[in-house]
Amino acid sequence: MKKINYLETKPSSRYDQFDPDQEGNKNTKFADLIIDGKSLYQMLRTYDMVPSLGWGSDEYQREMIDYFLLRKPHKYMYYRYPIMVCPWCGDEECGFISVKIDREDDFIIWKDFYVESEKKKINIGPYHFQWDNYEKEINNSFGTAGIQ
């Protein structure tokens, strides 16, 4: 039997108040994705990207939510989506980490995480979420950090 994971979203930022790296760098605020109590941002911090949810323009945030809720496919990756993006602009051309998202009945599956610019697989997941928990948390990410 597959393990059912629990998803939460919570406001977070790239730097804490005492981090010397924030000097001269953009301290992006975003909706962190917490899987079974562990921050996806912290798990993938080595790639210097931030989650794509909870920040940017209203239009950008709604597009990300539509992707993650499988309301529409990505314009060129279909059912792979940018889960981590450039902390400066969120633009996929700067590089991003993608995830394959599938829905099977009342479950969402995140699998096959890749650093797209390098076509390098990241050895995390798969994660299985119950739809009700997943839908609520993805929707709750809207406006977490506002427009930056």
Look up the pTM and report it.
Answer: 0.89
Distance between CA atoms of residues 81 and 114, nearest Å: 10
What would the pLDDT profile of 95-131 be if each residue is shown by its tens digit? 899 999 999 999 999 999 999 888 899 999 999 999 9
Name the band, by pLDDT with cuts 50, 70 and 90, for residue 147: low
Q: Kindly report, residue by residue over 35-82, the tens digit of the pLDDT.
A: 999 999 999 999 989 999 999 899 999 999 999 999 999 988 888 999
The structural domains of the chain, with segments of one domain joined by +, span: 7-140
Decide if 117 contacts 97 (C-beta within 8 A): no
